[in-house]
Amino acid sequence: MAISRSQLVKELEPGLNALFGLEYKQYENQHEAIYTKETSDRAFEEEVMLSGFAQAQVKPEGSGVVFDNAQETFTARYTHETIALAFAITEEAIEDNLYDRLASRYTKALARSMSQTKQVKAVNPLIQGLPTTNNFNSGDGVSLFNTAHPTIAGNVANTLATQADLNETSLEQSLIDIAAMTDERGLKIAAKGMKMIIPSALQFTADRLMKSAGRVGTADNDINAIKSMGMIPQGYVVNNFLTDTDAFYIITDVPNGMKYFDRAPITTKMEGDFDTGNVRYKARERYSFGVSDYRGIFASEGA
């Protein structure tokens, strides 16, 4: 349905002082703090987790060496979605508008809608992958944040055993758990937390925890170990689209973790209709957000 003069009554009359409502600032590209961007030329992308070998064994004298097997363990699939939005304006509304070019004003609104949609979709794996929500799985078939990601050698956790709000204890335990992560064969990996992603409700707590010289909320003269040891070197980043106000996330240095595939960058098109004279405008892009190696992110959904 096209935007007609009946929906733009005041813009067709003399005496209007200002038009407002489409000039708000917005939070842009917050997904870049979470995801590594890659491009795609297929309908979907798959990434396969490989297992290495277990620990080497003692070879008794005169005995044969033990042979081990490597294998594929799970596949992460990224299925690209097509995101699009359009609007149309009648020929008469364009002709009779007194104050501004309708097209330029509403194409900016179209771009704003497309941008915000991307930010909402970007946080969906983080929100839906929490233990109690459990609506977004990693490639191994369990929720993205889980204490029992199955491997050949046992389970791996990328969430706290007991969910807790962001404080000194929970943050330290998260970093301890990250350092204890193992690979598919149970070998230790040298993982560490690099950056914390938080909702806006936790920004003051995060700032005190990571920037205070001493321990927060105590009368002791102890140093802030998290700051002193440089445990989260890239600090924290606020994501305003996270809906769980007490969940926090830590991006680790494990490669091939959270990924964003750009299948088709955003494009805009305009065309006129011969019969009606209406002008139609459309924006479209294709992308997907997901995770390959769940060890690339750690989370607690709060108490």
Domain boundaries, the chain: 78-300
Confidence of residue 255 (pLDDT cuts 50, 70, 90): very high
Confidence of residue 273 (pLDDT cuts 50, 70, 90): confident
The beta strand positions in the chain, using DSSP E, are: 36-39, 44-51, 71-79, 81-89, 149-151, 154-156, 193-198, 236-238, 248-252, 258-272, 279-291, 297-300
Going by C-beta distance under 8 Å and a sequence separation of 6 or more, which residues neighbour residue 210?
196, 224, 226, 227, 232, 235, 236
The beta strand positions in 29-164, using DSSP E, are: 36-39, 44-51, 71-79, 81-89, 149-151, 154-156
pLDDT at 132: 92
Q: How many CB atoms lie within 10 A of CB 138?
A: 24
CA dihedral 215, 216, 221, 226 (to 10 degrees): 10
**What's the whole-number mean pLDDT along residues 78-107?**
80
Cα–Cα distance for residue pair 2/4, rounded to 1 Å:
6
Is the model's pLDDT at 99 over the cut of 50?
no
* Structure token digits, residue 25: 């600032």
Is the model's pLDDT at 31 over the cut of 80?
yes
Contact between residue 27 and residue 119 where contact means Cβ atoms under 8 Å apart: yes
Handedness of CA 260, 263, 267, 272 (dihedral sign): negative
* Structure token digits, residue 177: 């758990």
Q: Which residue has the higher pLDDT, 284 or 100?
A: 284
